[in-house]
Amino acid sequence: MTREEKERVLLTTARAFAKRGSQLQYDQLSMDRDVQITSRRRYILPPEAATDQQRLYLDCATFICAAYYNAFGYQLEADVTWDIRDLVEDCVFCHHFTGTESPAVIEAIKAHMKGLLRPGDAVVYSKATNGHIMLYVDEHTYYHCSQAGIPGSYDYKNRRDLVSEKGGMHIHDPRWWFEECPHDPVMRKYYLFAEGVQKIAILRPLNRVGEPTPNALARMGEARDLHCQVTVYHSGGRTAAPGEAVEYILTVRNDRGEAAPLTVSFDNGPAHTADLAAGETALFRYTVNAPVDGAFRMAPPAVTVNGLQVYAPFVLVGKNLPADRVQTLLTAMETAVSRGRTTEEAIRAAYDALGVRLPSFRLWLRDLFQRIDATVGEVFIRREQAPARDMAVYGYFGGTRVLTPEVCYDLFTRTLQLRMEDLQPGDILLCADDHTNRQAYAALYTGTGFWGSFETCRPPAFLDGEAAARWLDTLPGRYVWVLLRPSLN
């Protein structure tokens, strides 16, 4: 494959990320804010992993990594801007600013860089406390993942998720790398020769890649400009009962300027064919039964559209509460609250009505999380997850003091977001604001809202609507939290 062909493969893959819109969000922060080793970013996932149900998170460096990995299966030497700058071997240009460069020298550097740039190059600048990396497309275009002046990422101070309607991907003009944009303060931050920039570099990882992945070739061929996503009714934290029918929905939108013939298959079964007019969307449904062998999650189906293998989500599997048992539970909860019980007493009494004995909140947290001394203070590590034993929904935990280094090799060991759609009636959200768990508190999900305490040492109350969704949004900013589903036991 020629250099020019590899450029097209890489840029087609990068463009697929750029077209995901609000499904792909910018986030450079770590979910464990105090130690900062648990990234929210998932760069080895494909563009199609960004869906209406589950957002994909990248930052500037992991977007570059994602483009190269999904185009060629090639992993860059690092996934942090500073390390990429220093560790990627194919550096074709680098300049350390001394502060003594004359205007003539600056202009000579600009001219030299413009002459060097080729499609697929990564352009990096670094300052004392931050930096940025961007993917060069041509003299009029570059791709990058950035806030670009738009609020995004998780606001840990105010405990709320900031979602950009435009998404985290941006397409800009590299002209403003070499000229200070006079009318846009956001674009001025990408001026490579601005005051405070210490180092600039051009990297060329494309020199080291091998052959394209099958999906990259499909995106250039028959799957060109097809926006695909797979969603499922049992999304996120919802569990399918063993043997229950699980329906996957494939959505294909034709973003070409002409009609596109479709060939769709599920699990290598019979092909479904259709002609999709320009701008139209088609839905394809596929149903499979959840396993009955005790597995806590079922493998996703193989979904193919015109040779493109479309990412499909895992579905969690476990026992659920029947409707009559839910009603008994909620009645018992309301009765206990009306009698002046504390939240913990009321939730345990409600499950007592179903014949289910729950441990104390403090002991439950102790059994779920191992406490470790660190330089920042006490931190937590999730013990081995066993939903059928510990009654905790797989992957649904977090907090600013919870470390999850295993996300490096198990992307689904910890959730990136928590939504009302992830919950089922009878679920318990258990939180603590200190390392001893003495300040533990919890809320019981009813199907429409929560009965419980929403801060430590508060009496039980009912929360629904926007207030309930807002409280749910605060959980990633709390010390530790976990989603419990006693029916799994």
Task: Give the pLDDT of residue 83.
Answer: 84
Q: Tokens standing for 274? A: 């259709």
Sheet order of strands, 226-232 included: 226-232, 245-254, 281-289
Backbone angles phi, psi at 233, to 5 degrees: -60, -45
Query: CA dist 413 to 99, 116, 382, 424, 485, Å?
Result: 47, 42, 10, 20, 17
List the strands of the sheet with 122-126, edge to edge. Answer: 91-96, 199-203, 122-126, 131-138, 141-145, 169-172
What is the mean pLDDT of the segment spanning 459-481? Answer: 96
Neighbours of 230 (CB within 10 A): 23
Q: Contact, 46 vs 70, CB < 8 A?
A: yes
HSE-up of residue 5 (Cα within 13 Å, Cβ side): 9
Predicted confidence (pLDDT) at residue 87 exceeds the cutoff of 90 = no
Domains, the chain: 3-214 (3.90.1720.10), 222-317 (2.60.40.10), 323-488 (3.90.1720)
DSSP 478: S
Model confidence over 93-126: pLDDT tens digits? Answer: 999 999 999 999 999 999 999 999 999 999 999 9
Asked if residue 482 has pLDDT above 80, the reply is yes
pLDDT of residue 34: 78
Q: Is the pLDDT of residue 251 over 90?
A: yes
pLDDT confidence bin for 407, thresholds 50/70/90: confident
Residue closest to 476 by CA, chosen among 365, 396, 420:
396
pLDDT surpassing 90 at residue 357: yes
pLDDT of residue 28: 85
Residue 29's pLDDT band, with cuts at 50, 70 and 90, is: confident
Give the helix/strand (H/E) hosting 330: helix 323-338
| pLDDT at 43 exceeding the cut of 90 | no
**Residue 430, SS3 per DSSP:** strand
- DSSP-based three-state secondary structure for 144: strand
Q: What is the mean pLDDT of residues 438-454?
A: 95
Residue 60, by phi and psi: left (phi above 0), alpha (psi -120 to 50) or beta?
Answer: alpha
User: Do the strands 377-382 and 402-403 form a parallel or antiparallel pair, or are they unpaired?
Assistant: parallel
What local confidence, expressed as pLDDT, does residue 147 receive? 86
Average pLDDT over residues 349-370: 96
Confidence of residue 294 (pLDDT cuts 50, 70, 90): confident
Sign of the torsion angle spanned by Cα atoms 137, 13, 146, 170: positive
Rounded to the nearest 5 percent, the helix, strand and coil shares of the chain are 30, 30, 45
| pLDDT at 81 (0 to 100) | 85
Alpha-carbon gap, residue 32 to 401, rounded angstroms: 5
Q: What is the DSSP letter of 383?
A: P
d(CA 296, CA 69): 29
State yes or no: pLDDT of 92 exceeds 80. Answer: yes
Cβ atoms of 169 and 145 closer than 8 Å: yes
pLDDT greater than 90 at residue 406: no
Q: Name residues whose C-beta falls within 8 Å of residue 389's C-beta, 6 or more positions apart in sequence.
A: 489
Residue 180 has pLDDT above 90, yes or no: no
Query: What phi and psi, each to the nearest 5 degrees, are found at residue 178?
Result: -110, -10
Task: Give the tokens for residue 2.
Answer: 């020629």
> Which amino acid, 22?
S
Structure tokens belonging to residue 166: 């435009």
List, as one string, the DSSP characters of 217-251: HHHHTTTTTEEEEEEESS-TT-EEPTT-EEEEEEE
- The pLDDT of residue 36 is 83
Residue 227 to residue 236: CA distance in whole angstroms: 21
Q: Residue 133: its pLDDT value, please?
A: 96
138-160 mean pLDDT: 89
pTM, entire model: 0.93
Report the alpha-carbon angle 122-123-128, nearest 5. Answer: 130
Please, which residues have CB within 8 angstroms of residue 304's CB and are 6 or more apart in sequence? 263, 264, 265, 266, 268, 310
The predicted model gives 249-276 an average pLDDT of 96
pLDDT in tens, 311-325: 999 999 999 999 999
